[in-house]
């Protein structure tokens, strides 16, 4: 059984910072939070993506860690694109170290939008998808369309997801949309990037880092369940694009390990890189029946103040998505929520929290369940 | 066409041309879907370097086996519409086909879309092996494309003894170039002749005021299948179908032409006019951009093949795909009546031209490169 000893995270934004600088800040905050120094860290799991579009071209991230923290120790790199944070956490939980740092850092807001779109497109199959103009927005647009055709989900439902998450980010100082109001009209009138998805259905690419220190020592936050599954690379290759089976399988593993069910979860952070994915997550995690995800957002069940608040941080939509760090940013938010440290967006009476992190288009998916212990 | 590789016993399908099932260890079959219906559509408004022209549509098509694949198109479709690719027997038709890991299927479709007639012919395949280079460098014709072509020819009944692969290198030793580019091994594997054109007899041929010494090996064949690598070119702008045929002349002719660039540009057109009709299979599986055609170029990773009976049209379409400026030798060849350099007269089949356009880096030279 592993516990969370400390968490750290930079503000996610478009500021021009190096990955090592952000990694150092996130780690420093996590060490402070854990009330320890780097001497107590036995090993590090690090994740980052090999972007070719920024000013940084170094690839040896393992060696960056000892250089940065002045300690020779085992460093394991676990890249899984957008799912890097969750996959690294899953890995670290299974390595058996007493104290292990999970660290993620990425710089993606480095150049023009087209170049970034192209860079992120690298997480799809070159021959079947990239050559056919499939970028990540289009990939998820086809998923949204299939869900809409099957289950009567509408663009208005997607707008409600966006509006909820922007409203949450308004309250979160670590996000680029902190204290920035986004209206429902603004969302609905934003330009269509790949039909049916609009600009405000899509995440904001940012730079950032996040860190989590896991320990065998008992703390106030226990990792109660952990699951991971990787589906086929291209959604069109799967039986059904409107359900992401890897989420269901990873969730089943996490629920089984924790002895919990979906109905026991009090709060969740899910991978809403595109608004449709939050609705898919509701269904695939078992928060509702298949095809009824849109009802949860219409009925405000997942709002702060609802029965099951989702993405209180602002989600990928409005907290921003620096690729690998996203999975640990979810853990950061959930730990802070479970401890009651989220001020204006604090949810009361929390015991169990769930994080769902996705790499690629429904490819590498991890699900983690945290439990508030004692207190 | 939608391709899948299937293990019938285990009921598993792959997007990749694997040969044996990892479960039952049995043989994998190829499944080719031909009846395609549109089951999803997204109109994309955000450009990126490989897809700079917006809006474009991505349609999700499904075949008779239930297999799906996305297709980039510019045309408008509705869900339920049929997706078809019509062949054309226009002399200036150019086919564009994307390679979905399977070179044979891409080559076959490219040739069938232009209704290439290869039956009962004595064929000379003219690749581009201008120097010794490894296949991965993209400077010489990809042996995988030639392998796909050989499989297709043999399947269509062309006898191995009637197939010759022939080329002469411009730089270095021919034997070394054949070996390094993978052609020695390929010719041995298929039991076809591999000929160094420089060692063949050359026949004097006078056309439009030019005297060419052309390899007899080329002139005696029923059909030349020209397989150039589609490239940008420091001197010519691009090199493809027309330029690749220059190496069927003797070294003496070549050196004579090389002295005067303006004359050479016209000579390329005249030479192509003087050789009986041939067809071109343009190898853009990798393709070269930037300061090609040699080592200063860089791979373009276009992942496609082009085919046409009209070399001028094929070269013109390549400049359009790469959003490059028109190459003078292509326009001159068009004026000489070798083929059509006017887009109005060229019918593109297979992929839609606008859906394939992306900015290739032109050959602009640099102070590092010493021009001859």
Q: How far apart are the first and last CA of chain A?
A: 19
Helices (H), B251-305: 251-258, 261-274
pLDDT-derived band of residue A375, with 50, 70 and 90 as boundaries?
low
Q: What CA–CA distance (Å, rounded) separates B284 from B255? A: 28
**Nearest chain A Cα to B101, which residue?**
A127
H helices within A124-173, ranges in order? 136-151, 155-169
- Asked whether residue A165 is assigned to any structural domain, the reply reads no
**CA of B301, closest CA in chain A: separation in Å?**
10
B49:A234 CB<8 A: no
pLDDT single digits (tens) A166-213: 999 999 999 999 999 999 999 999 999 999 999 999 999 999 999 999
Domain B94-356 of CATH type 3.30.1120: no
Residue B92's SS3 state is coil
Measured distance CA(B66)–CA(B36) in Å, rounded: 9
Contact A136, A316 (CB under 8 A): no
User: Percent of chain A having pLDDT more than 70?
Assistant: 100
CA separation for the pair B287, B138 (Å, rounded): 6
Which residues span the domain enclosing A88? 3-111+206-215
Please judge whether A133 and B99 are an interchain contact, meaning their C-beta atoms are less than 8 angstroms apart.
Answer: no
Residue B206's CB: how many other CB atoms inside 10 A?
9
- Residues A130, B50: C-beta atoms closer than 8 Å: yes
* Chain A residues with beta carbon closer than 8 angstroms to that of B50: 118, 130-131, 133
Phi, psi of A219 (to 5 degrees): -130, -165
* Chain mean pLDDT for chain A: 96
Q: Is A92 part of a structural domain of the chain? A: yes
pLDDT band at A60 (very low <50, low <70, confident <90, very high): confident
Cross-chain residue pair B303–A127, CB shorter than 8 Å: yes
Residue-level pLDDT at B277: 76
- What is the predicted pLDDT for the residue at A111? 86
- Length of chain A, in residues: 375
For A286-334, the pLDDT digits (tens) are 999 999 999 999 999 999 999 999 999 999 999 999 999 999 999 999 9
Spatial separation of the C-alpha atoms in residues B262 and B267, rounded to whole Å: 9
Q: What is the mean pLDDT of residues B346-369?
A: 95
Catalytic residues of A: 82, 321
> Is A63 within the bounds of a domain?
yes
pLDDT > 70 fraction of chain B, expressed in percent and rounded: 99
Burial (Cβ within 10 Å: 0-12, 13-18, ≥19) of residue B367: exposed
pLDDT bracket for residue B31 (50, 70, 90): very high
SS3 of A64, please?
helix
Strand partners, A269: A355
B229 near B139, Cβ under 8 Å? yes
User: What letters, b where the CB count within 10 A reaches 16 and e where it falls short, cover B213-238?
Assistant: bbbebbbebebbbbbbbbbbbbbbbb
Average pLDDT, rounded, for chain B: 96
Dihedral sign (CA B165, B170, B176, B182) = negative
In a domain, A307, yes or no: no
Q: Does A194 touch chain B (CB under 8 A)?
A: yes
Cα gap A78→A74, rounded to integer Å: 13
Between CA B140 and CA A125 the distance in angstroms is 26
Closest chain A CA to residue B3: A128
What's the angle, vertex CA A275, arms to CA A269 and CA A277, rounded to 5?
A: 65
Q: What is the mean pLDDT of residues B69-79?
A: 98
CA distance A355 to A267: 9
Q: Phi and psi dihedrals of B107, rounded to 5?
A: -65, -45
- How many CB atoms lie under 10 A from the CB of residue B118? 17
Q: A114-131: b or e for each residue (b if 16 or more CB lie within 10 Å)?
A: bbbbbbbbebbbebbbbb
What is this model's ipTM? 0.94
Nearest to B48 among A117, A126, A129 (CB): A117
How many CB atoms sit inside 10 A of residue A146's CB? 21
Instruction: Answer whether residue B372 shows pLDDT above 80.
Output: no
A312 three-state secondary structure: coil
The count of CB pairs under 8 A between chains A and B is: 91
Contact status of A354 with chain B (Cβ, < 8 Å): no
Q: Is B344 helix (H, G, I), strand (E, B) or coil?
A: helix
Q: What pLDDT does A93 receive?
A: 98
Pairing outcome for strands A267-269 and A352-359: parallel
Picking from A5, A62, A61, the residue whose alpha carbon sits closest to that of residue A29 is: A5
Please write the tens of the pLDDT for every residue from A215-248: 999 999 999 999 999 999 999 999 899 999 999 9
- CATH number of the domain at A41, please: 3.40.47.10
Asked if B46 and A194 come within 8 Å (Cβ–Cβ), the reply is: yes
Segment A66-73 mean pLDDT:
96
Do the Cβ atoms of B303 and B98 come closer than 8 Å? yes
Which pLDDT band holds residue B371 (cuts at 50, 70, 90)?
Answer: low
Query: CA neighbours within 13 Å on the CB side: how many for A311?
Result: 37
Any B CB within 8 A of A193 CB? yes
- Output the pLDDT for position A54: 81
- Alpha helix segments (H runs only) across chain B: 103-113, 143-155, 174-180, 183-190, 216-219, 241-244, 251-258, 261-274, 311-321, 328-335, 353-356
Instruction: Check CB contact under 8 Å for A194 and B45.
Output: yes
* Structural tokens at position A348: 């009361």
Considering chain B, tell me which residue range(s) the CATH 3.40.50 domain(s) occupy. 94-356
On chain A, the residues whose CB falls within 8 A of the CB of B96 are none
Residue A61: what pLDDT? Answer: 81
User: Could you tell me if residue A123 is inside a domain?
Assistant: no
Task: Return the pLDDT at B171.
Answer: 86
Lowest mean pLDDT among A183-192, B187-196, B204-213: B204-213
Strands B163-167 and B123-127: parallel
Beta bridge partners of B323: none
pLDDT digits (tens, 9 = 90+) for B145-182: 999 999 999 999 999 999 999 999 988 899 999 999 99
Query: Is A79 within a domain?
Result: yes
pLDDT digits (tens, 9 = 90+) for A136-173: 999 999 999 999 999 989 999 999 999 999 999 999 99
Q: Helix axis angle, B183-190 relative to B143-155, nearest 10°?
A: 20
Number of domains present in the structure of chain A:
1
In Å, how far from its chain's centre is CA B168? 19
A137 vs B: CB within 8 A: yes
Task: Count Cβ atoms below 10 Å from residue B119 Cβ, excluding itself.
Answer: 10
Minimum CA–CA partner of A130 in chain B: B50
């Amino acid at each position: 059984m592993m516990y969370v000893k400390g968490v750290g995270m930079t503000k996610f934004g478009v500021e021009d910072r190096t990955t090592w600088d952000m990694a150092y800040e996130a780690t420093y905050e996590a060490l402070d939070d854990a009330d320890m120094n780097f001497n107590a860290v036995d090993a590090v799991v690090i994740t980052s993506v090999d972007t070719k579009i920024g000013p940084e071209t170094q690839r040896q991230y393992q060696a960056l860690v000892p250089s940065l923290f002045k300690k020779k120790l085992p460093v394991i790199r676990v890249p899984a694109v957008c799912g890097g944070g969750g996959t690294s956490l899953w890995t670290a939980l299974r390595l058996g170290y007493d104290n292990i740092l999970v660290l993620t850092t990425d710089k993606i807001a480095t150049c023009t939008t087209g170049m970034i779109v192209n860079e992120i497109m690298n997480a799809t199959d070159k021959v079947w998808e990239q050559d056919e103009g499939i970028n990540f927005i289009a990939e998820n647009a086809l998923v949204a369309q299939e869900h809409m055709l099957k289950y009567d989900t509408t663009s208005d439902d997607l707008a409600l997801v966006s509006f909820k998450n922007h409203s949450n980010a308004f309250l979160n100082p670590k996000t680029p949309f902190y204290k920035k109001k986004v209206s429902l009209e603004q969302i609905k009138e934003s330009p269509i990037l790949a039909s049916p998805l609009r600009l405000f259905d899509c995440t904001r690419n940012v730079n950032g880092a996040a860190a989590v220190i896991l320990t065998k020592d008992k703390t106030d936050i226990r990792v109660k369940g952990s699951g991971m599954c990787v589906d086929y690379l291209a959604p069109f290759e799967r039986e059904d694009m409107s359900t992401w089976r890897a989420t269901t399988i990873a969730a089943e593993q996490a629920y089984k390990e924790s002895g919990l069910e979906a109905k026991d979860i009090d709060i969740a952070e899910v991978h809403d890189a595109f608004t449709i994915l939050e609705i898919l997550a509701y269904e695939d995690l078992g928060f509702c029946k298949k095809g009824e995800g849109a009802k949860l957002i219409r009925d405000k069940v997942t709002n702060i103040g609802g029965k099951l608040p989702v993405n209180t941080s602002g989600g990928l939509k409005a907290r921003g998505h620096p690729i690998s760090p996203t999975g640990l940013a979810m853990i950061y938010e959930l730990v802070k929520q479970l401890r009651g440290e989220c001020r204006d967006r604090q949810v009361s009476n929390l015991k169990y929290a769930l994080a769902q992190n996705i790499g690629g288009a429904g490819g590498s998916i991890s699900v983690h369940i945290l439990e508030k212990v004692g207190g | 066409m939608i391709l899948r590789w299937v293990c019938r016993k285990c009921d598993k399908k792959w997007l990749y041309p694997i040969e044996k099932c990892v479960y039952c260890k049995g043989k994998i079959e190829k499944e080719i879907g031909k009846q395609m219906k549109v089951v999803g559509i997204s109109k994309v408004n955000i450009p990126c370097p490989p897809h700079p022209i917006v809006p474009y549509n991505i349609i999700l098509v499904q075949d008779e086996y239930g297999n799906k694949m996305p297709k980039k198109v510019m045309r408008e479709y509705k869900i339920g519409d049929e997706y078809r690719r019509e062949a054309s027997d226009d002399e200036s038709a150019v086919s564009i086909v994307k390679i979905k890991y399977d070179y044979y299927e891409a080559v076959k479709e490219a040739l069938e879309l232009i209704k290439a007639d290869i039956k009962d012919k004595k064929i000379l395949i003219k690749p581009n092996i201008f120097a010794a280079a490894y296949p991965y460098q993209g400077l010489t014709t990809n042996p995988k494309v030639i392998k796909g072509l050989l499989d297709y020819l043999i399947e269509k009944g062309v006898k191995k003894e009637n197939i010759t692969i022939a080329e002469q290198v411009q730089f270095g030793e021919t034997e070394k170039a054949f070996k390094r580019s993978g052609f020695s091994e390929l010719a041995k594997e298929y039991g076809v002749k591999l000929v160094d054109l420089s060692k063949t007899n050359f026949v004097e041929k006078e056309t439009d005021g030019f005297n060419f010494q052309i390899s007899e090996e080329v002139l005696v064949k029923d059909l030349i299948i020209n397989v150039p690598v589609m490239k940008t070119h420091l001197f010519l702008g691009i090199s493809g179908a027309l330029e690749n045929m220059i190496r069927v002349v003797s070294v003496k002719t070549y050196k004579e032409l090389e002295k005067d660039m303006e004359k050479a540009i016209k000579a390329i057109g005249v030479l192509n006019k003087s050789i009986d009709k041939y067809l071109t299979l343009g190898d853009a599986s990798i393709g070269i951009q930037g300061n090609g055609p040699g080592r200063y170029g860089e791979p373009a990773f276009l992942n496609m093949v082009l085919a046409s009976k009209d070399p001028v049209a094929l070269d013109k379409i390549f400049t359009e795909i790469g959003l490059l400026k028109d190459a003078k030798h292509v326009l001159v060849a068009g004026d000489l009546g070798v083929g059509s350099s006017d887009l109005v007269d060229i019918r593109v089949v297979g992929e839609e031209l606008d859906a394939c356009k992306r900015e290739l880096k032109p050959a602009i030279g640099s102070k590092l490169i010493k021009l001859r």
